[in-house]
Amino acid sequence: MNYFKTALLLAALTGFFLVAGYLMGGQTGLVIAFVAALGMNLFAYWNSDQMVLRMANAQEVGPENAPELFNIVHELTQRAGLPMPRVYLIDEEQPNAFATGRDPEHAAVAATTGLLRHLSREEVAGVMAHELAHVRHRDTLIMTVAATLSGAIGMLASFGGLMGGGRDSEGRPLVNPIVAIAAMILAPMAAMLVQMAISRGREYEADRMGAEICGQPQWLASALAKLHAGTQQLHNEAAERNPATAHMYIANPLAAAGGMSSLFSTHPPMEERIARLQAMGGQGYQSYAPSRPQPASAPGGGPWGDSAPPRGPWGNAPTAQSPRRGPWG
Task: Give 95 or 160, the one with higher predicted confidence.
Answer: 95
Domain annotation covers residue 297: no
* 18-74 pLDDT, tens digit each: 777 777 667 777 787 778 777 777 777 788 789 889 999 999 999 999 999 999 999
Give the largest CA-CA distance in the chain.
77
**What pLDDT is recorded for position 310?**
42
Domain annotation covers residue 80: yes
3-state SS record for 118-139 = HCCHHHHHHHHHHHHHHHHCCH
Percent pLDDT > 70 in the chain is 60
Domain annotation covers residue 214: yes
Domain annotation covers residue 64: yes
In the chain, the amino acid numbered 124 is V
Binding site feature residues for Zn(2+): 130, 134, 203
pLDDT, the chain, mean: 76
**What pLDDT is recorded for position 15?**
76
DSSP calls for 218-249: HHHHHHHHHHHHHHHHS--HHHHH-GGGGGGB
- Which residues, 6+ apart, have CB-to-CB distance to 100 below 8 Å? 48, 49, 52, 53, 107, 108, 110, 140, 143, 144, 248
- Which residues, 6+ apart, have CB-to-CB distance to 222 below 8 Å? 122, 123, 126, 318, 323, 324, 329
d(C-alpha 70, C-alpha 57), whole Å: 19
Domain annotation covers residue 206: yes
* 3-12 pLDDT, tens digit each: 666 667 667 7
d(C-alpha 226, C-alpha 318), whole Å: 13
Q: Name the active-site residue from 92, 122, 123, 131.
A: 131
Indicate whether 206 pLDDT > 50. yes
The number of distinct structural domains making up the chain is: 1
Binding site feature residues: 130, 134, 203
**What pLDDT is recorded for position 102?**
86
User: Residue range 133-142: average pLDDT?
Assistant: 86
Give residue 147's pLDDT band: very low, low, confident or very high (50, 70, 90): low
**Residue 107, H or E segment:** none
Indicate whether 215 pLDDT > 70. yes
**What pLDDT is recorded for position 202?**
84
Domain annotation covers residue 317: no
User: Residue range 297-311: average pLDDT?
Assistant: 41
**What pLDDT is recorded for position 246?**
85
Task: Give 198 or 126, the one with higher predicted confidence.
Answer: 126
Domain annotation covers residue 17: yes
131 in active site: yes
User: Residue range 242-252: average pLDDT?
Assistant: 87
Domain annotation covers residue 324: no
**What pLDDT is recorded for position 9?**
66
Instruction: Identify which of 199, 208, 205 has the alpha carbon closest to the alpha carbon of residue 142.
Output: 199
**SS3 label, residue 87:** strand
Q: Are 290 and 304 in contact (CB under 8 A)?
A: no
**What pLDDT is recorded for position 229?**
95
Instruction: Identify which of 300, 320, 305 has the alpha carbon closest to the alpha carbon of residue 222.
Output: 320
Q: Which domain holds residue 220?
A: 2-167+176-280
